[in-house]
Structure 1
Amino acid sequence: MNPVDISNILLNENGYFYKKKKSKIAKSDIEKLFRQCLTDKAANKSYEPMIRASLFESGKEVAKYSVLIFDYQQRPSFMKADAHLWERKTGLFIILEHLDYLAVIRKNVSGAHHLYQIVEEIDYSILTNFMVTDTSKFEKIISSNLNTAENATQTKSAEGIDLKGVMSRFSISKQIINAVRLDNGGEKSSITLNTSRVNSLNIRNDFEPALFWLIKIIKLIDVAYKAPKTNSFVAGFAKPLVFSTEIKTLQPKFLFLRFQSVKDALEAGLISDAFTQDDKGKKNKVDLVAFLDSNSKLFSLTRYDARTYSHGNTSIKLNLNTISFRDPSFQEIQVSFGGPDSVSLQEYINLQQQFIVTFDKPDYAYTHRKIFQDHRLLEDLDIFMDTFIAEPHLAKVTSEKGKTTKTSKIFSARSIFGYLESKYLSTVDCMICDDMGTEWGDHISVKGDEITFYHSKYDKPGLSATKLEVVFGQAQKNLAFIAMTDEMVSKRALRWSSNYSKTSIPRIRKHDGSGMTPIESVKRSIARAAGSGNLQAKVYVVINFLSKSQLSASLAKVKGGETFHDQGVTLQILWFVNSLLASANDIGARFKIICRP
């Protein structure tokens, strides 16, 4: 078997970086990694592996490196059976050891499970800051939202010459960075945080210069560990905390399963198969996308024991430094990545760690192996309270829409619907009552360039997160309808042209008379506003049971660190409002809550 000719190897400056769990990696560890890699691919050694060779600089050894080049065959992805057709591929596995770190360059490598027995991933707070200077430009940021509302934006991608000063301060405190592309004086690099991958945008280089690039990155990481620093722009994002410390004072409340990493792998063609297997070894194909979509939801958790919280068959377990997810249906499904081996979907999700767990403290959330804090949630309470509009009349209402009959032509003045119409009908161009059935909102109004959706709910006065959850869930879901197209409106024309349920109250409560019929006038008003470059979308939740002053007093106690009877409810309300506020902010809509003073 021929030795590796390293002078014939061209490499991208693209590596995965880890911290050693032990001070020294044994030769047997490298050999085991290489064996696992070959076994997973049913591969053959193309060259004699290099194990822990020395890399020299100015005659002095600065690092150890190991190289495995192998070839293997696989069935073409477009063939169901072998059909005597095979694709021949070549894999490359390079491991570099320097200081307390290990760097990996890999191509067509899988199955090296022993790697995570000897290393750990670089900490999130290090990866987000180690290459950042005061003059760094943030060209691209991909982030995940800590908002667990099912219809909220889960992942955001922003790109520009420099995103500092462009991204909203309110938004970024609720996001964690998944990936970032930096420009440091013309040197551009991308960092993918959940895989500890760093990529220079330079073209391919010779073998040794590429290894010295790995060493350069390792030295920057090492400096960041020894002298931690936080860039002021990066600090605006959700704050990473030490899991083992914070988990002692937190109680899990909700689990939100989101599967963007699995869908990304499907989109990239990395996942080749998903199946279940019976006792006789027969494989049954699984529609993985449909399965993921049906399980992408929020689970309310209850405590099972000191380390386990569950919802039916779904549960989470609190480990020393992470949270793991468990569900028998996920354990049954196997996913494969082009080789003969497979892993359970549960194991893959736990490896990716992109689910979210929220706690009894609403500013804390777990994802990506860390606990994060929305550090602005309690700091911005004054701004938060500006979301609420105090309306004295709502203390006098006695129902949501009042009693109606076949001859009713208006809603009761003592109802929330009646209040809304008396308050806003005279000031808008048109208003529709869309309540009942598959509604977009209880009321929708247009005024010039403004389109407003109103969601109303009546209940007995008092601080209650449960009461809010219903109306907020409706408002969250119906954010999708704010961008009203002509086609969408046309499909509502018959409904809006009718009377409100079993009454003589026209659903079109007002129109501007610009069309030949009320519905044509409404269509024209909506088209004019929706097509305007100055469109202002608004979402109002109108409730009688919540008092702005009472909530403000309770939140002041929370901020002051007091313990009181309605503390849990107050925290839940804060979380619900903040989640919907963030979702509205994502689509450029203004969100307000009209309530009792």
Structure 2
Amino acid sequence: MTASQLLDNIILHENAYFYIKETSGFLSKRIIKETFSEAATDKHGRSLLEIVKEKKTLSNGIEIFYSILVFKYIKKPSFTEELIINWEEVKLAYMCIVDFEEHLVVTRRNISKISDFLKTFEVLDYNVITSIYSQDNTSFEKLSMDNMNISDRAIRQKSLESPDLKENVSSFGLQGYILNTVRVSNDEEKIALSVNSSRINQLGPKNTFNAFLNWCNKTVEKIKNYVPKTNFLSSFATSIDYSKHKDDLTPTSILIILSKIYKEFEENKIKRCFFRIKKRNEILEREINLIPILKQFEYLLEIEDIEDVYKIKNNVVNDLSLFLNNKSITLRSKKLSKLFIEYETDLCYPILSVINWTRSYIITFDNPEFIYCNRKLFKDSRLLGNLDSVLKIFKEDPELENVTSEKGKFQVNLTNFETNSVFGFVENTFKANYEYFICDDLSKEWADHIGLNEDSIAFYHSKYKNSNFSASDFQDIIGQALKNLGNLSPSDDQWEIKERLWSNLYKNDFVETQISRIRTGQSSNQTISYFKTIKGYPNIKKQVHIVINFISKSALEDRLHKLKNGESFQERNEVIQILWFISSLISSCFEANTEVYIHCKP
């Protein structure tokens, strides 16, 4: 077959990535050949089809250039350790570049080595890709979104599906989520959009190559004729121009999102992990278990500005830092650049490259209105604009100024927690409000105390510290509350372990006291029976109470107003992190239909 005959035999889905060029003009043959050469480094034999920069006049008179590459490659099966003769998997890969003067369209399959080429183009602006298929009668059928919440205990991703989500999803709270993918319906036309990667997929049968080119042209015309409009998707977080604000940004903390790597482990896509070490003139590889290393990075990490180097504080490597590029923020580390992930596809990448490519981190700054996520900068003025609302969850109690420990000292004849402990304060202050009050501290606890009555299920989380405005201490107690939100409505398989625990006396520091776990109420059986009953009440209130001694409401209010007014003060970075944690707590509790209160010093 001739190249023309082969091209006539190709059928493609109307599915491609759309980019914008920084400067108008068509790509040179040299750039396309270099890209094809990079994409086909593993090809077996000669290319099956290679057309470079072929001119084409479309039906509306627009002139474009297209280039296409098809090749064969050999792959080792995933279930063998080494390649066995006659056990090879023969696969085909293709890549097609459709070159408009100001835009570029790329469709590909089994191609993964062209990241350097694609970096030279801009993905479609968030507002453009979410608007070009939005009309008055558009139905939004499916959404997936990423959470900007910086708590390591927050739900990271959510997916929603309905015949039309704008009819049954409240827009309140969506500002804290970044839209990832969306499927819309316009009459008989369904389109799936990948917002972060600029992929547009018009669902339907495959079509001829010429029809694919005409679809690319129609889509580019939609992009060129974009007119800003407000629609249902406008409720989500929208990005601002990072390059315009880059010089004013000072990073203060980072949360590295590892869920994508963990998912690849679950799906058996990762073959092995290893360090690549150069010894004398020899390159050695030492396999490692990556999971324990990753666990050291699961928390919000502080960033220090040391001589204009943004060092990320952690317990694993001492050279991990952030670099503010012209268009994005990336992680750097010479030590971690030697740590590789090898996939079942035999492709091998440094772990930092994987994290940078997948945009797997959230960064906060000394200006709390800014947050960086998914390679985009977002500005949210609500954080400082709603300080009065934020402070309403704080409840002042002067008695918290007198506590001297979290649980007090333990003795075998003790029947109550010491009055000057946080536990003692909680019981003396709140126990009388409930028909059942339980000390659930230690051993896979849901909370330090649990209160039950006909109106509410309440979890009390307590913490004592000698610190003042400690973001790390605040993060610990917030994390404890967030990870147990689901236990406000326990599943049936959880009761057995609670029945055993709650029927015992309280034991701590190897001392078994006379403190009953059931602080108000009768037996553990009756307590559990009551819990099971009220959790099914349709109007039951779920509440989270955080009780701490190391924050004063008036002092926090003073610092937050200084922050809002742009004033400098000693605890600025800590207060910014605390503000983000409060915002995360409020957001997560709202989604779980749970009231939240923080009891602290006046």
Establish whether TM, by shorter chain, passes 0.5.
yes
> Deviation of residue 266 (structure 1)?
5.5
- Is residue 148 of structure 1 aligned with residue 150 of structure 2? yes
SS state at 1:500 partner:
strand
User: Which of residues 433, 445, 454 is equivalent to 2:451?
Assistant: 445
**1:127-166 equivalences in 2 (<5 Å):** 127-164=129-166, 166=168
What is the match of residue 63 of structure 2? 62
Residues 303, 309 of structure 1: 8 Å contact kept: yes
Judge which range, 8-17 or 421-430, deviates more.
421-430
User: What 5-or-longer segments of structure 2 have no aligned partner?
Assistant: none
Q: What residue number does 1:255 align with?
A: 254
Q: Which residue of 2 aligns with 1:242?
A: 241
SS in 2 for 1:33: helix
- Which residue of the partner structure matches residue 508 of structure 1? 518
**For residue 3 of structure 1, what is the aligned residue in structure 2?**
3
| 2:582 pairs with 1:573 | no
Q: How does 1:539-578 map to 2 (within 5 A)?
A: 539-563=544-568, 567-578=572-583
Report the Cα offset of residue 243 of structure 1: 1.6
Task: Find out whether 1:387 has 2:393 as its counterpart.
Answer: yes
Matched, 1:51 2:52: yes
**Counterpart-to-counterpart distance in 2, 1:543 and 1:241:** 37
Alignment check: 8 A CA contact 1:456 1:471 kept: yes
Percent of aligned positions that are identical: 31
Match of 1:72 in 2: 73
Contact 1:258 1:297 in 2 (8 A): no
Aligned ranges 1:79-118 → 2 under 5 Å? 79-80=80-81, 81-116=83-118, 118=120
When structure 1 is superposed on structure 2, of 581-590 and 347-356 the one drifting more is 581-590
Give the whole-Å Cα distance in 1 for the aligned partners of 2:144 and 2:68. Answer: 33
Q: What does the per-residue CA deviation read over 1:241-279, in whole Å, with 9 as the maximum and x for residues that have no partner? A: 222232322321222211334445556676565444454
Aligned pairs, number: 588
The residue number in structure 2 matching 1:521 is 526
CA contact (8 A) 1:144 1:155 kept: yes
Kindly state the Cα deviation for residue 585 of structure 1 after the two structures are TM-superposed. Answer: 3.2
The match for 1:333 among 339, 360, 374 is 339
Cα distance change on mapping 1:401 and 1:336 into 2, 3 Å = closer
Indicate if the aligned counterparts of 1:272 and 1:338 stay in contact, CA closer than 8 A. yes
Structure 2 length as normaliser, TM-score?
0.87
Q: Distance in 2 between matches of 1:271 and 1:400?
A: 44
Pair 1:181 & 2:187 matched: no
CA distance in 2, matches of 1:124, 1:269: 33
Contact 1:485 1:530 in 2 (8 A): no
Q: Per the alignment, in what secondary structure is the counterpart of residue 151 of structure 1?
A: coil
Cα distance in structure 2, aligned partners of 1:494 and 1:263: 34
Aligned runs of 1:362-377 on 2, under 5 Å?
362-377=368-383
1:360 to 346, 360, 366: 366
Q: How far has the Cα of 1:383 moved from its partner?
A: 2.7
CA contact 1:32–1:114 (8 Å) conserved in 2: no
For the residues of structure 2 that align with 1:413 and 1:117, how far apart are their CA atoms?
A: 62
Once the two structures are TM-superposed, the CA of residue 425 in structure 1 deviates from its matched residue by 2.9
Residues of 2 paired with 1:352 and 1:12: CA distance? 25
Cα 1:423–1:334 change in 2 (3 A) is closer
**Structure 1 stretch displaced more, 260-269 or 176-185:** 260-269
TM-score (norm 1): 0.88
Distance 1:495 1:77, change over 3 A: closer
CA contact (8 A) 1:356 1:367 kept: yes
Shift of 1:521: 0.9
For 1:448 and 1:59, the matched residues in 2 are separated by 70
Change (3 A) 1:89 1:401: closer
8 Å contact from structure 2 (residues 153, 479) kept in 1: no
Alpha-carbon deviation of 1:431? 0.9
Which has the larger displacement, 79-88 or 398-407?
Answer: 398-407
Q: Provide closer, same or farther for how the CA distance between residues 197 and 43 of structure 1 changes in structure 2, counting only shifts above 3 A.
A: farther
Quote how far apart the aligned CAs of 1:104 are.
0.9
| Aligned pairs for 1:151-550 within 5 A | 151-164=153-166, 166-224=168-226, 227=227, 229=228, 231-264=230-263, 274-279=273-278, 280-281=282-283, 283-287=285-289, 291-311=293-313, 312-328=318-334, 330-336=336-342, 342-391=348-397, 394=400, 400-401=406-407, 405-413=411-419, 415-436=421-442, 439-448=445-454, 450-458=456-464, 465=471, 467-479=473-485, 481-501=487-507, 502-511=512-521, 513=522, 518-532=523-537, 534-550=539-555
Question: Offset of 1:558 from its aligned partner?
Answer: 3.6
CA distance in 2, matches of 1:250, 1:533: 47
Instruction: Between 64-73 and 433-442, report the one with greater CA deviation.
Output: 433-442
CA distance in 1, matches of 2:116, 2:403: 66
- Contact 1:40–1:111 (Cα < 8 Å) also in 2: no
Question: Are residues 40 and 72 of structure 1, via their aligned partners in 2, closer, same or farther at CA, if it must alter by over 3 Å?
Answer: closer
Distance, in Å, in 1 between the alignment partners of 2:572 and 2:301 is 22
The CA RMSD measured in Å over matched residues stands at 3.1
